[in-house]
C-alpha cells in the first residue's frame, strides 16, 4: 500500500510519512468503535457534556500548537489557525449546553393516550473530511454526534494525517471512553469498503461535488443516510445603493478566507453597472494590500495553497478564463520558486462559459461580473450549479432581506456581511452544493432515529 506523505506546501519537502491502515485494521477499528457505542449510547447528557466541555478547554490550551500543525500540513496562517481552534472550542461548548434540550421528546397529540417523537442515536458514523479546515470540519460534525450518543470513525484528507491524529488524541485526553472516536489512515480509493461495513450506520462528507456524488452513490447502494456539504461558487451582489467601502472590505475578506480555499468564500462578485468602476477600484486596492507569505510569519494574511497540484489547477482556470475574454487586473502570475503560492487575483469582464463564471475556483481569485440592474444581478447569481451561500449589499435593509429570503437560491444568504458558519445556525447547501444540514438544532437531528412512540 502507498505510504501517506505529508508535504509542507511552503517548502515542498516531505515532513512526515505514515503507513496506511490495512483493510483488516480498518475493520477492527470500526468494530471497536461499535463496541464503544454500545456503552456510550447509555451515558447521560450530563456526562457527555462534561467530556465535551473538557475537550473545549483542551483545544484552547493547545491552540498555538494545533495552529502550527495546520500551517505545516496545509499552509494556514497562524492567526487563522488559532481562530479555527477557538471556533472548534465554541461548537463543543454550544452542543454541551444545548444538546439535551434539542433532543428532548416531542409530544404529539393523536388517538393514543400518549404519543411522541423520541430522538435516539444511530451508532457509528463515518466522517469523510477535507483538508481546508482540518479541525473545524471535524468538530462541527463530531460535537453534535457525540452529544446525540453516536460514535465516529474519521477518514480525513490524506494530506492532513497529523491533524487527524491530533483530534483523536484530544478526544482521548479529554477522557472519552476508548474507541469512541478513531482515525482511519486510508486513501479515497479504500473508502467504499468502509461505507459497506454493516457497522457503519451513516456518512457525512464535506468535500468536492465529485467526491459527494461518488459517496452518495455508494451510500445509496447500501441504503445508508449521507449528509453532503460540497463545493460552492458563492455570488455576492453589489447593488447601486450599496455602501461600497463596506462591500469592498467585506468581499475581499471573504474571498481570501483560508487563502481562498473555502467552500463558502465569496467567489463571484456581481456588480450593478452604475457602481462597477468605483467598486472595482476599491476592491483592487484592498486585495493588493494583502500580505502573502510563510504561514508561520505573524503578519502573513494569505498563505500558500495546500498543494502544488491545487495551485496549478487554479492557475489553469484563471488562464482559461483569460483566453475566453476575461481581463486580469491583478495577480494571475504563478510565482517562481518553491511552494504552492498564488497571488490574490482579480478577473473582470467575466461571462458565462468561462471557468471563473461556471466553476468553483478554490484559491484567491475573484471573478467580477457586470449586471445591468438588480434583477439581472439576481438572475446571474442563481445561474449556477451551486447553491451553498450568497450575499447582497444594499443600504435598503428591507429590500436586501427580501432578496436574501425569496430570490437567492442558496442554503445561507447574508445581507451586508460575508457568509460564515455559526454553531447556532443551520448550515448546508442545495443543488450541487449538497444536501442535509449541519450545526444548530437541525444538525444534531441529522444522525438520530426520529422514533415514534405510541402508548394506547
Which tens digit of pLDDT belongs to each residue from 190-210? 999 999 999 999 999 999 999
Give the N- to C-terminal CA distance of the chain in Å, as an integer.
58
pLDDT confidence bin for 231, thresholds 50/70/90: very high
For residues 425-450, give the mean pLDDT: 98
For residues 346-373, give the mean pLDDT: 98
- Neighbouring residues of 133: CB distance < 8 A, sequence distance ≥ 6: 84, 258, 262
Catalytic residue among 263, 276, 359, 446: 263
pLDDT at 34: 98
Nearest to 441 by CA among 104, 171, 116: 104
Check whether 111 has a pLDDT greater than 90: yes
For residues 213-224, give the mean pLDDT: 98
For residues 426-440, give the mean pLDDT: 98
pLDDT at 241: 98
Percentage, residues of the chain above pLDDT 90: 99
Burial group, residue 298, by CB count within 10 angstroms (0-12, 13-18, 19+): exposed
- Confirm whether 263 is a catalytic residue: yes
Number of Cβ atoms within 10 Å of the Cβ of 260? 24
Phi, psi of 394 (to 5 degrees): -160, 150
pLDDT at 413: 98
Nearest to 232 by CA among 145, 119, 104, 362: 362
Check whether 162 has a pLDDT greater than 90: yes
pLDDT at 352: 98
- Neighbouring residues of 156: CB distance < 8 A, sequence distance ≥ 6: 129, 131, 134, 138, 163, 164, 183
Domains in the chain with CATH codes: 4-230+433-455 (3.40.605.10), 234-422 (3.40.309.10)
Instruction: Give the three-state DSSP class for 340.
Output: coil
pLDDT at 331: 98
Q: Which residue has the higher pLDDT, 338 or 448?
A: 448
Nearest to 388 by CA among 232, 256, 258: 232
pLDDT at 340: 97
pLDDT at 321: 98
pLDDT at 368: 98
Nearest to 171 by CA among 151, 187, 188: 151
Burial 318-344 (b: 16+ CB within 10 A, else e): beebbebebebbbbbeeeeeebbbbbb
Catalytic residue among 73, 84, 229, 446: 229
- Confirm whether 229 is a catalytic residue: yes
pLDDT at 65: 98
Q: Determine the Cα–Cα distance for residues 393 and 437; give it in Å rounded to an integer.
A: 25
CA angle 132, 134, 139 (to 5 degrees): 125
pLDDT at 117: 98
What does pLDDT average to over the chain? 97
Check whether 52 has a pLDDT greater than 80: yes
pLDDT at 391: 98
Check whether 299 has a pLDDT greater than 90: yes
Q: Determine the Cα–Cα distance for residues 444 and 450; give it in Å rounded to an integer.
A: 11
Check whether 1 has a pLDDT greater than 80: no
pLDDT at 28: 98
Amino acid at each position: 500500500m502507498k505510504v501517506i506523505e505529508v508535504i509542507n506546501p511552503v517548502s515542498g519537502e516531505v515532513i512526515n510519512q505514515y503507513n496506511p491502515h490495512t483493510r483488516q485494521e480498518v475493520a477492527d477499528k470500526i468494530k471497536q468503535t461499535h463496541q464503544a457505542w454500545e456503552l456510550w449510547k447509555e451515558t447521560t447528557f450530563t456526562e457527555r457534556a462534561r467530556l465535551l466541555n473538557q475537550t473545549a478547554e483542551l483545544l484552547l490550551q493547545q491552540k498555538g500548537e494545533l495552529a502550527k500543525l495546520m500551517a505545516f500540513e496545509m499552509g494556514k496562517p497562524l492567526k487563522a489557525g488559532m481562530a479555527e481552534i477557538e471556533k472548534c472550542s465554541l461548537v463543543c461548548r454550544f452542543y454541551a449546553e444545548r444538546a439535551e434540550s434539542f433532543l428532548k421528546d416531542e409530544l404529539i397529540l393523536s388517538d393514543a393516550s400518549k404519543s411522541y417523537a423520541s430522538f435516539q442515536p444511530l451508532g457509528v458514523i463515518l466522517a469523510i473530511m477535507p483538508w481546508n479546515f482540518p479541525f473545524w470540519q471535524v468538530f462541527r460534525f463530531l460535537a453534535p454526534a457525540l452529544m446525540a450518543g453516536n460514535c465516529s470513525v474519521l477518514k480525513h484528507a490524506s494530506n492532513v494525517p497529523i491533524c487527524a491524529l491530533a483530534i483523536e488524541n484530544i478526544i482521548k485526553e479529554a477522557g472519552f471512553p476508548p474507541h469512541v472516536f478513531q482515525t482511519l489512515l486510508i486513501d479515497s480509493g479504500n473508502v467504499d469498503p468502509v461505507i459497506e461495513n454493516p457497522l457503519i450506520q451513516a456518512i457525512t462528507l464535506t468535500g468536492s461535488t465529485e467526491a459527494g456524488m461518488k459517496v452518495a452513490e455508494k451510500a445509496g447502494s447500501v441504503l445508508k443516510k449521507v449528509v453532503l456539504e460540497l463545493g460552492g461558487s458563492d455570488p455576492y451582489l453589489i447593488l447601486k445603493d450599496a455602501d461600497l467601502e463596506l462591500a469592498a472590505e467585506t468581499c475581499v475578506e471573504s474571498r481570501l478566507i483560508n487563502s481562498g480555499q473555502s467552500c463558502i468564500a465569496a467567489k463571484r462578485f456581481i456588480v450593478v453597472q452604475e457602481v462597477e468602476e468605483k467598486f472595482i477600484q476599491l476592491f483592487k486596492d484592498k486585495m493588493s494590500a494583502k500580505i502573502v507569505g510563510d504561514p508561520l510569519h505573524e503578519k502573513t494574511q494569505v498563505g500558500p495553497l495546500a498543494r502544488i497540484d491545487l495551485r496549478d489547477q487554479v492557475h489553469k482556470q484563471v488562464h482559461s478564463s483569460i483566453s475566453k475574454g476575461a481581463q486580469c487586473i491583478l495577480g494571475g502570475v504563478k510565482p517562481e520558486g518553491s511552494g504552492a503560492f498564488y497571488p490574490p487575483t482579480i478577473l473582470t469582464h467575466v461571462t458565462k462559459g468561462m471557468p471563473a463564471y461556471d466553476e468553483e475556483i478554490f484559491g484567491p481569485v475573484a471573478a467580477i461580473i457586470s449586471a445591468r440592474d438588480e434583477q439581472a444581478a439576481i438572475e446571474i447569481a442563481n445561474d449556477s450549479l451551486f447553491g451553498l451561500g450568497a450575499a447582497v449589499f444594499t443600504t435598503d435593509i428591507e429590500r436586501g432581506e427580501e432578496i436574501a429570503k425569496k430570490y437567492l437560491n442558496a442554503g445561507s444568504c447574508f445581507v451586508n456581511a460575508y457568509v460564515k458558519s455559526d454553531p447556532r445556525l443551520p448550515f448546508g447547501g442545495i443543488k450541487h452544493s449538497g444536501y442535509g444540514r449541519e450545526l444548530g438544532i437541525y444538525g444534531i437531528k441529522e444522525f438520530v432515529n426520529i422514533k415514534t412512540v405510541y402508548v394506547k
